[in-house]
Chains A and B, each alone.
Chain A
């Protein structure tokens, strides 16, 4: 081994048929032992060992080789193809700028209080973040107002349909149909690389306090100071963070007083008499249209908040991709006033079936997995 190689090992008990292992490098070789199946001593289609090499490509796929028990205690070798339909082990690197999945053609859309899209075999799950492109039915119709905005997939209706939180229930929007040219959607592979960040606003409820809905997870916490950038077409311009006429030089900010869920929070601004928010933007006004945004001012990351009184430890900063449950980042305590870098790298264990012994997969829930990962200095090819 030369000085730039990397090696890591570890173990875990599987909570599902898939797992993500984060590492301080992107491995080019991974091997793992399924100790549960090894200890059992036998069992039909039970994988005992799996290994994957980044440089081995078969038919554009990067297969995972497995060793497994067959009927009668025999030992077999098989392959998990590594295709989209049969994912095996794969490495990932979230990087520092957004990466995207393949663009998929939008077949149709249905407007309403939320907006539904039909995409053949979209493969998305609730909580995924997607971005639309185009969305023109013709030069003057369609839903291009939504193009370019990151949306959390709120509901997966079925394999070909999903819903995002955007009120398109007005005459400015027309349904898409017959797979319009240039109307596509792509998944953001690793969203929230830095947070809290900028979120696009999908709805505002005015009142004694102001409730904000965002198109994707805002990742704010109670106490977060926020600023608003709302172009005049969207209505509620009174929220904009402009110089304060009462206290010159002090911009107008709000504070988050409660977090309802991943895309809804309440701000301490009395907006009772403010202009109503609207998504009714004419298609003709789309060119040059800026989106309504809420921006973190400084931050209130979880760093600096002790786990318990007297504890010297701090929880890692969390983000909330959907619902209300936070997900830990790999970071240690954050610095107040700084933002959290949420990039990651490592490898993923997929749940694809073996090619020949189609009942076999790499692991099942509750299996004990021992893994090793390597990044080599030199590889040929």
Chain B
């Protein structure tokens, strides 16, 4: 599904950053632009907002779309603290936060994963310096689905070692399914492409 979305959903290049690449690093205006685009297209938001509470260091969270991003961009998000980024730990309550949720900017809540798609050294600036391009997928509730073929749903298969090999050395654990992916509403999804501001630090 991830790779299919990269290939089939339309793209917006980030322009709100200042690093001199196209796309730029993420700026808060990019979040605002994408959310505005999805709102204009009548996309459904995933999450309702979180009302503000009388707790130090917290702030209310807007109703939001989800954005799937790379963990490598977390330091870039941290650099937006004070400019619009709210860490998950600064939510009034993180009861509704997902385990992979890093924070939010305006109407977008950010989930990070090391498995998010990255194109390495994909752009060069006018000095010839290379940067990676990140595919940050922002989606509304009705954007994507998968189709089970002929009602053939997912099977979890486990065979213990006794049945998987004569010497009982290897077990088998697998998931089997016949599915196709589909973008159900193309106006409710955007790939927000960005580069990175900070060093990778690996």
A residues near B, CB below 8 A?
2-3, 96-98, 103, 131, 133-134, 136, 138-139, 142, 144, 147-148, 180-184, 193-198, 227, 229, 241-243, 249, 251, 286-291, 293, 295-298, 334-335, 337-339, 341
Given contacts A148-B123, A184-B124, A194-B7, list 4 more A-B pairs with CB under 8 A: A2-B165, A134-B125, A134-B126, A287-B21
Q: Which residues of B in the span 147-180 have a Cβ within 8 Å of any Cβ on A? A: 147, 149, 164-165, 170, 172, 180
Q: List 11 A-B contacts (CB under 8 A).
A: A2-B170, A3-B165, A96-B3, A182-B125, A193-B3, A194-B8, A196-B8, A251-B41, A287-B21, A338-B147, A339-B182
Whether B180 and A242, one on each chain, are in contact in the complex, defined by CB atoms closer than 8 angstroms, is no
Cα(A160)–Cα(B23), bound, Å:
30
Which of B15, B147, B165, B170 contacts A287 (CB under 8 A)?
B15
Whether A98 and B128, one on each chain, are in contact in the complex, defined by CB atoms closer than 8 angstroms, is no
Q: Which residue of A lies closest to B18 (CB)?
A: A287
Cα(A193)–Cα(B3), bound, Å:
9
Q: A-facing mask of B7-37, CB < 8 A → 1, else 0?
A: 1111111111100111110000000000000
Given A2-B165, A295-B9, A295-B186; A287-B24 close (CB under 8 Å): yes
**CB of B53 closer than 8 Å to a CB of A:** no
Whether B165 and A297, one on each chain, are in contact in the complex, defined by CB atoms closer than 8 angstroms, is no
Cα(A338)–Cα(B3), bound, Å:
14
Q: Cβ of B164: which chain A residues have Cβ within 8 Å of it?
A: 3
Nearest CB in chain B: distance from A24 CB, A: 15
Given A241-B187, A335-B147; A133-B15 close (CB under 8 Å): no
Q: A-facing mask of B48-86, CB < 8 A → 1, else 0?
A: 000000000000000000000000000000000000000
Which of A148, A183, A193, A293 contacts B7 (CB under 8 A)?
A193
Cα(A251)–Cα(B10), bound, Å:
15
Q: Cβ of B186: which chain A residues have Cβ within 8 Å of it?
A: 227, 241, 295-297
| Interface residue count on the B side (C-beta < 8 Å) | 47
Cα(A196)–Cα(B10), bound, Å:
12
Whether B40 and A147, one on each chain, are in contact in the complex, defined by CB atoms closer than 8 angstroms, is no
Which of B10, B119, B125, B147 contacts A293 (CB under 8 A)?
B10
Given A134-B128, A198-B11, A288-B24; A339-B181 close (CB under 8 Å): yes
Closest 3 pairs between A and B when the two form their complex, measured CB to CB:
A288-B15, A182-B128, A338-B180
Cα(A251)–Cα(B4), bound, Å:
23
Q: Cβ of A296: which chain B residues have Cβ within 8 Å of it?
A: 8, 186
Nearest CB in chain B: distance from A127 CB, A: 19
Cα(A227)–Cα(B187), bound, Å:
9
B residues near A, CB below 8 A?
3-4, 6-17, 20-24, 40-42, 117, 119, 121-130, 133, 147, 149, 164-165, 170, 172, 180-183, 186-187
Cα(A138)–Cα(B127), bound, Å:
8
Cα(A148)–Cα(B121), bound, Å:
11
Q: Cβ of A98: which chain B residues have Cβ within 8 Å of it?
A: 119
Given A97-B6, A193-B3; A286-B128 close (CB under 8 Å): no
Q: Cβ of A2: which chain B residues have Cβ within 8 Å of it?
A: 165, 170
Q: Cβ of B14: which chain A residues have Cβ within 8 Å of it?
A: 288
Q: Cβ of A195: which chain B residues have Cβ within 8 Å of it?
A: 7-8
Which of A193, A335, A341 contacts B149 (CB under 8 A)?
A335
Q: Which residue of B lies closest to A181 (CB)?
A: B128
Whether A194 and B11, one on each chain, are in contact in the complex, defined by CB atoms closer than 8 angstroms, is no
Whether B130 and A182, one on each chain, are in contact in the complex, defined by CB atoms closer than 8 angstroms, is yes
Whether A197 and B16, one on each chain, are in contact in the complex, defined by CB atoms closer than 8 angstroms, is no
Nearest CB in chain B: distance from A356 CB, A: 39
Q: Which residue of B lies closest to A200 (CB)?
A: B11
Whether B16 and A334, one on each chain, are in contact in the complex, defined by CB atoms closer than 8 angstroms, is no
Nearest CB in chain B: distance from A181 CB, A: 4
Which of A133, A136, A198, A249 contacts B122 (CB under 8 A)?
A133
Cα(A96)–Cα(B3), bound, Å:
6
Cα(A2)–Cα(B180), bound, Å:
31
Cα(A308)–Cα(B145), bound, Å:
31
Q: Which residue of B lies closest to A343 (CB)?
A: B3
Q: Which residue of B lies closest to A95 (CB)?
A: B3
Whether B187 and A251, one on each chain, are in contact in the complex, defined by CB atoms closer than 8 angstroms, is yes
Q: Cβ of A193: which chain B residues have Cβ within 8 Å of it?
A: 3, 7
Nearest CB in chain A: distance from B33 CB, A: 10
Whether A198 and B9, one on each chain, are in contact in the complex, defined by CB atoms closer than 8 angstroms, is yes
Cα(A242)–Cα(B126), bound, Å:
34
Cα(A375)–Cα(B133), bound, Å:
34
Which of B23, B41, B130, B172 contacts A242 (CB under 8 A)?
B41
Whether A337 and B147, one on each chain, are in contact in the complex, defined by CB atoms closer than 8 angstroms, is yes
Q: Cβ of B130: which chain A residues have Cβ within 8 Å of it?
A: 133, 182
Q: Cβ of A144: which chain B residues have Cβ within 8 Å of it?
A: 22, 126
Q: Cβ of B182: which chain A residues have Cβ within 8 Å of it?
A: 298, 337-339
Given A96-B3, A148-B123, A288-B22; A293-B41 close (CB under 8 Å): no
Cα(A145)–Cα(B17), bound, Å:
18
Nearest CB in chain B: distance from A283 CB, A: 9
Given A181-B128, A288-B23, A338-B182; A148-B9 close (CB under 8 Å): no
Given A96-B3, A136-B126; A243-B40 close (CB under 8 Å): yes
